Structure formats: structure tokens, C-alpha cells
Chains A and B, each alone.
Chain A
Amino acid sequence: MEQIGYMSTAPNLDAVFSALANPTRRAILARLAKGNASVNELAAPFEMSQPAISKHLKVLERAGLIERGVDEQRRPATLKADNMAAAMDWLEQFKVFWGNSFDQLDEVLADLKRAQAQEKKDV
């Protein structure tokens, strides 16, 4: 079930997307962006039990967005940027695809209009 090797070569971005879709998890990630934190520290700002926070951490861990310390008892969570950066990249590409293509279409149309005007002049 654990496909660590696969994850590192081709991150499962839809896991990243669904992990990011939850506001609590986004808040946890935002907190971790400022440095490592234990479950206790992460639970403090939320009106949530530790087990509830642990559940969110598990989702984030599975999406490859965080790592948990194994040795220490407090198991501090660390943000992993790679998968999130890959997901952001991917979405950005989707988001800009048509918009940027349309910018280029504008240029092609301007060329076509110039060519048509030229033809009329030549006739």
C-alpha cells in the first residue's frame, strides 16, 4: 500500500489537490511553512481534538505534503515543498493554458487582418 518509491518519482497530484481542498489542512500547512510543529502545537489554535488533527496530518502525509519525525515521541511534522510545488505548477499550467493561448491567438488574428488589408491594397 505504501508506494514511497512511486511517490518520489511521480507525485500523486490528485491526493495533493484533495488534501489542499480542506481549510483546516491548509491552515496546518501554513503553520508548518513557518517551521516544524508537534500535534499539540498544531492543535492549539484550532477547536479540535488531537485525534482530529492527527487525522488531518495523516491525509497530508499520504499526499506527500508533510513528513513526520519517527524517532521522537512528539513526532514533529515538517512541510515538504516538492509535491506542493508540482501540484501548483500543474494547476497553473491548466489555468493559464487557454488564457495564454488566446493571447497568442490575438497576435495571429492581428497578422491575418494585416494580410487581408494588404491584399485589398494590392488588388
Chain B
Amino acid sequence: MSELPEYKIERIFDAPRELVWRAWTDPALLHRWYGPNVETTIHQFNLKAGGEWHNEMQWGDTRDYSKMAFQEVIEPERIVWHHSSTDADWNIITNPMMPNWPRVLLTTVTFEESDGKTTVRLTQVPLDATEAEITCFAGAMANMDHGWGAGFTILETMFAELQA
């Protein structure tokens, strides 16, 4: 495959880059926003190439562990890490529900300031992935819009029929 599937998100924050960088790189701030509606605990955060971020998220009885291995840290404009799901001992694991989900996502975040606002761009691509992992990730990305929309429509139809 010549081109790897890519997940991309971009957001402009109404704050200078120095502040946005702080919110991303100070664990005391990072844990407050990383992970939607979950309790986030940062067990280790060593921001330098070769350093790691060990992250735990908790919601209900579920605990979700992940490890980010920093590859490149250029203050205040760029952070690159290898993103993986792990067990509670920070060993990389495959997702039990998604055996073909890429084990490592190469994650790149860039910060750009203009007129006191900061544009954050985040991309994720499978790293050293098997053909099956690439296909799985590509499928998820490509289906993000129409495929998943269709899935939801089918579920809705079915629930509507059940309630009728």
C-alpha cells in the first residue's frame, strides 16, 4: 500500500501557543482535559525523545491504559509519539475487541500561533503495521462518515421497529 490511512483533527484554540503548550505538557493540566468525561491519571510523564507518558483512564468499572513513547519534542511547536494500548503494567497489547486495530499509532501534534490564537493539528497513522492492521484502520477511517452513519441508521430502524 503506497499511502497509509490517516486520522486527522485540527482545532484553533483562543489562546497563545505558550499557554496551549503548557496545557499539553504539564501533567497537572493535561490530566484535566485528556480523555472525554473520564477520570484521567498520569502515572509517568517524561517529556523528551525516549521518554514516556503512562496514562490511565477510568469510567465506571472500566480502566483503560495507554502508553505514549515520545519520539520528538520541539518546544513549543511539535510533539511526536508512538501511541499504544497497554495492560496495567504498561506492556503493549492488542485491543481484545479489535485484534486488527494497529498496535502502534504514530501520533504527530503541531502547534502554530497566529494573532494570539493557536492551531493544533493532530494526525495518527499506523506504524510498522501488518496488512490486516492497515486494512482495519483504513476501513475505520473511510467508514467514519458514510459507513458508520449507515450502521447507526440500521440500529435506529431496528429499535424503531422493536418499539412499534
- A21-60 CB mask vs B (1 if < 8 Å, else 0) is 1000010011001110000000000000000000000000
A29 and B13 contacting across the interface, CB-CB below 8 Å? no
Count A-B contacts at CB 8 Å. Answer: 122
What is the size, in residues, of chain B's interface with A at 8 Å between Cβ atoms? 44
Closest-by-CB residue of B relative to A27 is B150
Partner of A101 from B15, B34, B98, B148 at Cβ < 8 Å: B34
Partner of A21 from B22, B143, B161 at Cβ < 8 Å: B143
Q: Contacts A12-B97, A101-B35 known; A81 to B158 CB distance under 8 Å?
A: yes
**Contact residues on A (Cβ < 8 Å of other chain), bracket:** 35 or more
Interface SS of B by simple majority: helix
Q: Once bound together, how far apart are the Cα atoms of A18 and B136, in whole Å?
A: 7
Residues of B87-108 whose CB lies within 8 A of A? 96-101
Residues of B72-100 whose CB lies within 8 A of A? 96-100
Q: Contacts A101-B35, A112-B29 known; A26 to B136 CB distance under 8 Å?
A: no
Given contacts A34-B157, A79-B158, 11 further A-B contacts (CB under 8 A): A10-B97, A12-B97, A14-B100, A20-B148, A26-B151, A30-B154, A95-B144, A98-B122, A101-B34, A104-B32, A108-B23
Seen from chain B, the residues whose Cβ lies within 8 Å of a Cβ on chain A are 9, 11, 13-15, 19-20, 22-23, 29, 32-37, 96-101, 120, 122, 132, 135-136, 139-140, 142-144, 147-148, 150-155, 157-159, 161
Seen from chain A, the residues whose Cβ lies within 8 Å of a Cβ on chain B are 10-14, 17-18, 20-21, 26, 29-30, 33-35, 79, 81, 84-88, 90-92, 94-109, 112-113, 116
